[in-house]
Amino acid sequence: MSESQLLLFLGQVLMVLLLARVLGELFRRFNQPALAGEILAGLLLGQTVLGHLSPDLYHGLFPDDAVQLALFDVVAQIGILFLLLVIGLEVDVVSAWKLRNQSLGVAISGVIVPLALGFGFAYAFYDAWAEVPTPRIAFSLFVGTAVAITAITVVARLLFDLRILKSDLGLLLISALAINDLLGWVVLAIVIGMVGSLVSDAAPALDAPQIGMVVVATVVFAGAGATWGRDLVTRILQWFDQQELPSPATPLSFVVCLGLACGIVAQAIGVHPIFGFLIAGLMAGDPSALSEHTRSVITQMVESIFVPLFFAGICLHVDFATQFHPGLVFAITALSILGKFFGAWLGTWIVRLPAFDRIPVAIAHIPGGSMGVLLAVVAKESHLIGPAMFVAIVFASIFSSLLVGPALSWSLRRREALNVVGFFSRRAILPALHARERFEAIDELVRFAAGVESQLDAERVGHAVRTREETMGTGIGDGIAVPHARLPGLAAPLVVCGVSRDGIDWNAVDDEPAHLLFLILTPTDEEDTQLEILSTLARGLGEASVRDRIVACGTADGIWAALHPQLRKSSKLSGP
C-alpha cells in the first residue's frame, strides 16, 4: 500500500463518516432511524448520485483499485461484525423464557407467516427474481428470511423515545423480537451452508448430510451460548466487577474478544462469522453482569463510527437507480410489511393478548431496519442474490423502518383516553427514602404502599415487584425509576412516589442515579392503565427543571404541589 492509497483511504473515511453522521442525526432529529440518513449518504457519494452527476469525480474518490476497495471493505466488515454483537446484547433470553407463553407465540407466528409467504412467492417467481444461479430452495428460503426478519434495535429505540421500553408491553415486544432475530439468523446460517462459504467462488455447495451437520452444529452452538455459555460469561463479568478491574475498559475488551472467538467458531462449523458475534452478544447480555452504562458505551462506539461507515459504504458501488425494479421492490416491500404485521397479529390472537395491545405489537414487528440490510449484504456477498434483489430488500428495510414510528405512535394514541391523575395522591408520597440500594428501595416503597392501602399484602407485592425488576430493570433515565407490577385482585391502580436526594443506582442507560421513584401497582386485567401512567409521567417530567424542583421539596405537601400540576397538564384528560 502506497502513501497515496493510504491518504485516499483516510479521505474516503472522513467524507463518508462525516456525511453519514450528519444525515443520520438529521433523520434522528425528526424521530426517524439514523439508518435512513446513513444509507442516503452512501447514495449521494456513490454511483447512484455522484456517479451519474460527475463520473470522473466519483471514480477519482472511489477508484476500482483492489487495494483501495479492500481497505474500505475491512472497515465495513468490522462494522457488520460489531453491529451483530450489539444486537446480540439486546437479546435477553432469560426475559424471553419467562414470558415464553406470550413472546414465543408472537415471535414464532411473526416469523413463520412472512417466511412462508416470502418462500412461496420467491419459489413461484424464481425465474424472474433470481439473477444468479442459486438453488431454488436456498433462494426462496433466503427471501422468506429477508421479509421475516425484524430490527430489534429500531423498535427498542422507538420504545425508549416513547418512554414505554420498561413497561410490560415493551418487555413483551423486546422478548418476542429477540426470538425473531435469533430464528432469522439461524435460518440464514443454514441457507449459506446450503450454497457454500461466504464470498468464496471455489466453496462447493453442501450435500444433504453436510447440511444436516451444519444445521445441528448451528442449533447446538446457539443453544449452548444461550444457556451455559451465558452463565459462564456472566460469572466472568461479575468476577471482573468484584476485582474492581477498570470499567468499562475490561468488560469491553472481554466482550470484543468473545465476539472474535465466537466468530471463529461460527466460521469453523460452516456458517457466517457474524452469527458468532450475535451469539457472543447474547452470551454477554445479562443485565446483572454488564451494566446499562457499559452496554451503552459499546453501543455508542459501534453506532457512531462503524455502523455509519458500513451502511453508507454498501451503497457506494451499487447503482440503486438502474437496479431499481418497481415491481420487485413493491412485491418485497409488501411481503415484508404485510407478512410481518399479520404474522405478529395472528400470534397476539393465539396467545390471547388484550385487544388493545394487538395492533401495537403487530406494527412493532414490521421494520426490517439494519437487520434486513445486513441480510441483504451477506446474501449479496454470498452470491445468493443479485443487485436488483439487493436494492429491493434494502428499500423494504428502510421504508418499513420509516413507517413504524408514526404507525406505532398512532396505534398508542388510538387507545381509549384515560385520566390517570386520580391514581396519584398526596398520602402516597414518601418524601425521604432511606434505602441506598435498588431492591431495598423497592421494599421500602412496598411497605409504605401497604400502609396507604391496607388490603395490600406487602410480602406478596414485594415479591411481584422484585421479580419484574429482575426480569428487566425499570430505570428509564433522567433520574427516574418506575418499579411496577400487575397484581390479581387489586381493586384499583395505585402509584407511590418516593424521593431519594442522594440517588440510588438503578442501572439506567444513562448511568444516572434515580432520585424520583414511582411504584406503579395495577390490576392484572388493566394492562392499558400501566402504559398510560408511564406515558403521563414521561410527558410531565420531561424537563430537568421540573424534576429538580420536585426532588428539592422536603415535604410530601411540597412534592405534591410540584408534581400534581405536571400530571394534570400531561394527562390526556383534565382530571378533577
All three cell numbers of 470: 429482575
In the chain, the amino acid numbered 70 is: A
Q: Which of 218, 205, 341 is nearest to 274 (CA)?
A: 218
SS (H, E, C) 169-212: HHHHHHHHHHHHHHHHHHHHHHHHHHHCCCCCCCCCCCCHHHHH
- According to DSSP, residue 46 is labeled S
Report DSSP letters for 145-158, one per residue: HHHH---HHHHHHH
In the chain, the amino acid numbered 156 is: A
In angstroms, the CA 37 to CA 212 distance is 41
Which residue in 272, 365, 484, 515 is the catalytic one? Answer: 484
Strands 514-523, 494-504: pairing is: antiparallel
CA distances from 446 to 148, 429, 442, 480, 559 (A): 43, 12, 6, 17, 19
Which residue matches cell numbers 416513547? 162
What's the distance, CA 201 to chain centroid? 34
In angstroms, the CA 518 to CA 534 distance is 9
Cβ–Cβ under 8 Å, residues 219 and 266: no
Q: Known catalytic residue: 484?
A: yes
Burial class (CB in 10 A: 0-12, 13-18, 19+), 375: buried
- According to DSSP, residue 428 is labeled G
Backbone angles phi, psi at 67, to 5 degrees: -65, -45
Strands 475-477, 480-481: pairing is: antiparallel
Cβ–Cβ under 8 Å, residues 257 and 265: no
Q: Is 534 in a helix, a strand, or coil?
A: helix
Residues in the chain, how many? 576
Burial class (CB in 10 A: 0-12, 13-18, 19+), 493: buried
Give catalytic residue positions.
484
